[in-house]
Amino acid sequence: MEKLFVFSSSSRKTNGDGRTRLLSATNPGDIQEAADLLRAGELVAIPTETVYGLGADASNEEALLKLYETKKRPQNHPFIIHVASFEDLPKWAKNIPLRAKKLADAFWPGPLTLQLQKADHVNNVVTGGLNTVALRCPAHPIFLKVLKAANISIAAPPANLQKTVSPTTADHVLDGLAGKIAAVLDAGTCEYGIESTVIDLTSQIPQILRHGPISQAMLEEVLGEAVLSPDAASDSIPGRVVHYHPKNPALRMSLEEIQRYVIITPKKWFAIVHHSPLHIKGDGRYVSILLPRKSREYASSFYAALHEADKDCFEIKGECEILIEEPPKTPEWDGVRDRLAKATTKP
Ligand code: TXA
Ligand code: MG
């Protein structure tokens, strides 16, 4: 069975016996409600332009501890702090370099996170004990409305359990967190679909810590200087690399390898995520999920495709693996290849 994967938000919503409120971004009262809950120290999932974030008041230690606990994230893995504008930076960072201003002017609000020196008064809980802070002003109009209504800064990792696939819809959020958080504010599907680019501005040469929608070339053009960048698919930065994965085993390979692997592995079933035409003759043991061939469109459906592949595998009675076609090794695919390397193994 082959299906073209055009993602649309479904209406299946289970909210954990009513313990997680379903709020709608189209209702101004619900946006205020989300803000009030955050101010009261509750956890609320909020849409950003990258993925849904699980928000907590960044100045409320108890709320932050609840955030680590609920996400099952170790307390040395810090949160990105979301601010309403560049003017909020001095609340969190010190010795803010000119580079930060240049990048914020060019890319904020938007999917770029700046790592800066932490201001002295900032609580270690939000920075995981580091002397740096990570800050971004998100572009999603609903997130910005919540920031303004709450008048706080918001710590927000992706709204999923640690080591699982990030959520790009409210349904994905509820899959992992229904009943465990106060509310989810539903605003449909996230535009970019992969997390923000993270750049370190504390060292002599700016360095990308995590690839994302803002590419190395875009950063270099605005800064007018070289930006270091790790190999998108390498695991060379211990501690920084978090692996997450679909619930079923997931492998990445070339299209040719996939076609061969399916034939030589007769007892299994497969959910195949690909972007090139797939030819597997006379074999019905797979579901195919076809993603767009352009990196930007591919990225925005990538996590949703992994969620979908898991669902397809669960509907199959036999043993099932997820096979994902590796994208080209060109810079516009850096963000996707980085996420893919973290979500899969090589056979
Ligand atoms: O797009 C995004 O960035 C999403 C949405 C919700 O905004 N958030 C997100 O958060 O991806 P998270 O928790 O996955 O990002 C954590 C990463 C860390 O792996 C690290 O690279 C960087 O942000 N980071 C966070 N706090 C830091 C700190 N204090 N110093 C240095 N890097 C930090
Ligand atoms: Mg993460």
pLDDT in tens, 49-68: 999 999 999 999 999 999 99
Residue 217: the pLDDT is 96
Residue 104: the pLDDT is 98
Alpha carbon distance 316, 206 (integer Å):
47
pLDDT over 50 (residue 7): no
Residue 83: the pLDDT is 98
Alpha carbon distance 99, 105 (integer Å):
10
Q: What is the pLDDT of residues 159-182, one digit of tens each?
A: 999 999 999 999 999 999 999 999
Query: What ranges make up the beta strands (E) of the chain?
Result: 2-4, 21-24, 44-47, 52-57, 80-82, 93-94, 112-118, 132-136, 154-155, 183-186, 197-200, 207-210, 250-253, 269-274, 286-290, 320-325
Whole-number average pLDDT of the chain: 91
Residue 232: the pLDDT is 56
Residue 281: the pLDDT is 78
Residue 49: the pLDDT is 98
Alpha carbon distance 249, 236 (integer Å):
23
- How far does residue 144's CA lie from ligand 1's centre (Å)? 18
Residue 159: the pLDDT is 98
Residue 162 tokens, joined: 């640690």
pLDDT over 70 (residue 145): yes
Q: Which ligand is nearest to the CA of 67?
A: 1
Residue 266: the pLDDT is 85
Average confidence (pLDDT) over 3-17: 55
Residue 69 tokens, joined: 């606990």
- Please name the amino acid found at residue 59: S
The burial class, CB within 10 Å (0-12 / 13-18 / 19+), for 301 is buried
Residues flanking ligand 1, CB < 6 Å:
48, 50-51, 53, 78-80, 111, 113, 115, 127, 130, 132-134, 138, 156-158, 195-196, 198, 209-210, 240
Pairing mode, strands 286-290 and 269-274 = parallel
Alpha carbon distance 144, 82 (integer Å):
9
Average confidence (pLDDT) over 186-212: 96
pLDDT over 80 (residue 138): yes
Q: Whose CA is closest to atom 23 on ligand 1? A: 80
Q: What is the pLDDT of residues 69-119, one digit of tens each?
A: 999 999 999 999 999 999 999 999 999 999 999 999 999 999 999 999 999
Proportion of the chain above pLDDT 90, given as a percent: 84
- How far does residue 331's CA lie from ligand 2's centre (Å)? 21
Residue 6: the pLDDT is 44
101-106 LR contacts (CB < 8 Å, sep 24+): 102/222, 102/223, 103/199, 103/201, 103/219, 103/222, 103/223, 104/137, 106/218, 106/222
The burial class, CB within 10 Å (0-12 / 13-18 / 19+), for 1 is exposed
Work out the pLDDT band at 267, boundaries 50, 70, 90. confident
Alpha carbon distance 203, 254 (integer Å):
37
Q: Is 200 helix (H, G, I), strand (E, B) or coil?
A: strand
> Which residues make Cβ contacts (< 8 Å) with residue 101, sequence separation at least 6?
86
